[in-house]
Amino acid sequence: MIPFLNLKKNNEKYREELIDAFTCVIDSGRYILGEEVRAFEWEFGTYCGVKHAIGTGNGLDAITLIIRAYKELGIFKEGDEILVPANTYIATILSITENRLKPVLVEPDIRTYNLDATLLEKKVTSKTKAILTVHLYGKIGYSDEMGAIAKKHGLMIIEDSAQAHGAIYKGRKTGSLGDASGFSFYPSKPLGALGDAGIVTTNDSKLAKVVAALRNYGSREKYHNLSQGVNSRLDELQAALLRVKLRHLDDDNQKRRKIAQRYLREIRNKKLILPEEGTPERHVWHLFVVRTEKRDALQKHLSKNGIETLIHYPVPPHKQPAFKDWNKKSYPITEEIHNTVLSLPLYSAMTKEEISIIIEACNSFS
């Protein structure tokens, strides 16, 4: 069986370096908010091209703390509206509802799966405060048009960069495109820890200060609490491991691009809608998602050929029991996407043979 993702094999390449990093942390005797976290924050911020990076416990907390910090700063208040793609992973939306702001779901462009600037502007009201854009599947979900709409209406742009570490739009990386950005280092993400981890990036010094306090009980100085914060610190150990993996991120992204390019070139089957490549540097291929009306049949066919696939995602947020009030709402583009998508295996440690088997199996589907 070709697994959807083989994380063990991906991390095997860095085994020696990871063990060295682990050993350093054991020997340091400092396990929370020490040198490794400081160094990783500096290195990741530099990588993204921003002034500040603040490690958090996970990706959901990173986005949630950005919104919370804007509330603390008096820029957002409860009940304000944030525009967000209807077809995102539920975490994006939870970061808004957790803060008691109102997510306004916007249909994506069916070709890019990301927000479309024209549709976006129609949803702006006097209560709209921000656009929370998602670089879904690893593809840039920001454009100059979006930036112009934000400017025109005085909206913040927050990036959910959980799937797109290292993707570049016109020379600027994710994490530096909006006013603030949240990343996840969940193990399967383009930059993955060996556990939970996340980070906030921004050029806004005030915001950075508030987030840094909020993630650590609202304190800047031990036992002095400025606000009612949370405990969502990035682990010293995960930071040390992430420093190793950050050094290999561009190479890993490049390897995934090459595999995606083979899929795009060699999968020839009219029944499958392949993803748009666009400008190569704008996509890091966290997921390679194809669409077909016969999705379940395709999944079965690939499984019979020894290929594991997954669906990202089977149920859109507005159809989840968690959001009962929205269950009767209709977002036809989003629903069409959820009913037809299938993700093929794509990770840097795949062999040429595995890739060929997947291509052949896609081509023999009828």
- For the segment 286-315, give every residue that binds ligand PLP (CB under 6 A): none
The separation between the first and the last C-alpha atoms of the chain, rounded to the nearest angstrom, is 21
Site for ligand PLP in 55-74 (CB under 6 A): 58-60
- Cβ-proximal residue to ligand PLP, closest one: 59
Residue 242: CB minimum distance to ligand PLP, A: 13
Please report how close the Cβ of residue 169 comes to ligand PLP at its closest, in angstroms: 17
CA distances in angstroms from 206 to 131, 179, 184, listed in the order given: 20, 12, 22
163 vs 202 by CB, closer to ligand PLP: 163
Q: Is 186 in the site for ligand PLP (CB under 6 A)?
A: yes
Rg (CA), the chain: 20
Nearest to 341 by CA among 298, 302, 305: 298
Question: Any contact of residue 89 with ligand PLP (CB under 6 A)?
Answer: yes
Nearer to ligand PLP, 156 or 359 (CB): 156
Among 88, 176, 238, 343, binds ligand PLP (CB under 6 A): 88
Q: List, as one string, the DSSP characters of 133-182.
A: EE-GGGB----HHHHHHHHHHT-EEEEE-TT-TT-EETTEETTSSSSEEE
CB count within 10 Å of CB 81 equals 20
Cβ atoms of 180 and 159 closer than 8 Å: yes
Q: Which is nearer to ligand PLP, 160 or 179 (CB)?
A: 160
Distance CA 215, CA 274 (A): 40
Size of the site for ligand PLP (CB under 6 A): 15
Does 160 engage in binding with ligand PLP (CB under 6 A)?
yes
Give the CA count within 13 Å in the CB-facing half-sphere of 156. 24
Of the candidate residues 87, 163, 299, 343, the single one contacting ligand PLP (CB under 6 A): 163
Q: Which C-beta is closer to ligand PLP: that of 134 or that of 307? A: 134
Write out the binding residues for ligand PLP, residues 122-141 only, by CB under 6 A: 134
- Cα–Cα distances in Å, from 104 out to 81, 107, 121, 140, 305? 6, 10, 12, 21, 41
Binding site for ligand PLP (CB under 6 A): 58-60, 88-89, 91-92, 134, 160, 162-163, 184, 186, 196, 198
